[in-house]
Chain A
Amino acid sequence: MNTWQRFKNSYLFYSFKQDSIAIGSFCVLSVLVVISILAPVVAPYNTYDTATFDILDAETPPAWMETGNEKFMLGTDIQGRDLLSTMIFGLRVSLIIGIGAVLFQALLGIIVGLLSGYFGGKLDAFLMRVADIQFSIPYLIVAIFTSAIFKLAFGVGRWEELAVPLLIIIIGMSEWPKYARTVRASVLGEKNKEYVEAARVIGLSRWQIIFKHILPNTLTPVLVLSTIQVANAVMSEAALSFLGLGMPITKPSLGSLIRSGFEYIFSGSWWITFFPGVLLVIFILVVLLLGDWLRDVLNPKLYKG
Chain B
Amino acid sequence: MVAFIIRRIIQAVIVMLVISLVGFSIQHQIGDPVRDLVGERVTPAEREVIRDRLGLNDPFYVQYFRFVKKACQGDLGLSFFYKKPALEVIVAKAPATIELVIVTAIILIVVSIPAGIYAAIYPKSWFSRIVMAFSTIGVAIPVFLTAIAFIYFFSVELNWLPSYGRGETVNIWGWESGFFTWDGLKHLVLPSVSLSSIMLPLFIRLVRAEMMEILETEYIKFAWAKGLRRERVWFIHAFKNTLLPVITIFGVELGILFAFTILTETVFQWQGMGFMFLEAVERSDTSLLVAYLVVVGVIFVVVNTLVDIVYGFVNPTVRIAGTK
Contact = CB atoms under 8 A, between A and B. Distances in A.
A16 interface: no
B242 interface: no
B14 A133 contact: yes
B278 A153 contact: no
B152 interface: yes
Contacts of A265: 148, 151-152, 156
Interface of A: 129, 132-133, 136-138, 140-141, 144-145, 148-149, 151-153, 231, 235, 238-239, 242-245, 258, 262, 265-266, 270, 273, 277, 280-281, 284-285, 288-289, 292
Contacts of B14: 129, 133
B144 A239 contact: yes
Contacts of A140: 256, 259-260, 262
Contact of A284 (B140, B143, B156, B300): B140
A232 B11 CA distance: 28
24 contacts: A133-B18, A138-B255, A138-B256, A138-B300, A141-B296, A144-B262, A144-B277, A145-B293, A149-B26, A152-B30, A152-B281, A152-B289, A153-B29, A235-B142, A238-B142, A242-B142, A244-B278, A265-B148, A265-B152, A277-B148, A277-B149, A288-B139, A288-B140, A292-B136
A280 B139 CA distance: 12
A76 B141 CA distance: 24
Interface string B78-100: 00000000000000000000000
Contacts of B238: none
Given A140-B256, A265-B151, A242 B156 contact: no
A29 to B, nearest CB: 13
Interface residues of B, number: 43
Contact of B281 (A148, A239, A258, A280): A148
Given A132-B11, A140-B259, A258 B140 contact: no
Nearest to B256: A138
A154 to B, nearest CB: 10
B151 A258 contact: no
B119 interface: no
A132 B296 CA distance: 17
A136 B304 contact: yes
Which secondary structure dominates chain B's binding surface?
A: helix
A299 B13 CA distance: 39
B145 A266 contact: no
B286 interface: yes
B284 interface: yes
Nearest to A140: B259
Contacts of A238: 142, 144
B258 interface: yes
Contacts of A137: 255, 297, 300
Interface string B126-170: 000000000011011111110011011000100000000000000
A239 B140 contact: no
B296 A136 contact: no
B266 interface: yes
A193 B135 CA distance: 39
A151 B29 contact: no
Contact of A281 (B145, B262, B297): B145
B149 to A, nearest CB: 8
Interface string B283-316: 0101001000100110011001000000000000
Nearest to B290: A149
A245 B140 contact: no
A153 B286 CA distance: 11
Nearest to A137: B300
A172 to B, nearest CB: 18
**A149, A235, A281, A292 pick with most chain B CB within 10 angstroms:** A149
A133 B30 contact: no
B281 A245 contact: yes
Given A152-B284, A265-B156, A144 B148 contact: no
Nearest to B29: A153
A139 to B, nearest CB: 8
A266 B162 CA distance: 12
Contacts of B297: 137
B259 A141 contact: yes
B263 interface: yes
Given A270-B152, A277-B145, 17 more contacts: A129-B14, A132-B11, A137-B255, A138-B255, A141-B262, A141-B296, A152-B30, A152-B286, A153-B30, A238-B142, A242-B142, A242-B266, A244-B282, A265-B148, A284-B140, A285-B136, A292-B136
A150 B141 CA distance: 27
A136 B259 contact: no
| 8 smallest beta-carbon distances between A and B, as pairs | A285-B140, A284-B140, A140-B259, A138-B259, A138-B256, A141-B259, A148-B281, A136-B304
Contacts of B277: 144, 148
A266 B263 CA distance: 19
B225 to A, nearest CB: 23
Contacts of A235: 142
A284 B142 CA distance: 9
Contacts of A152: 30, 281, 284, 286, 289
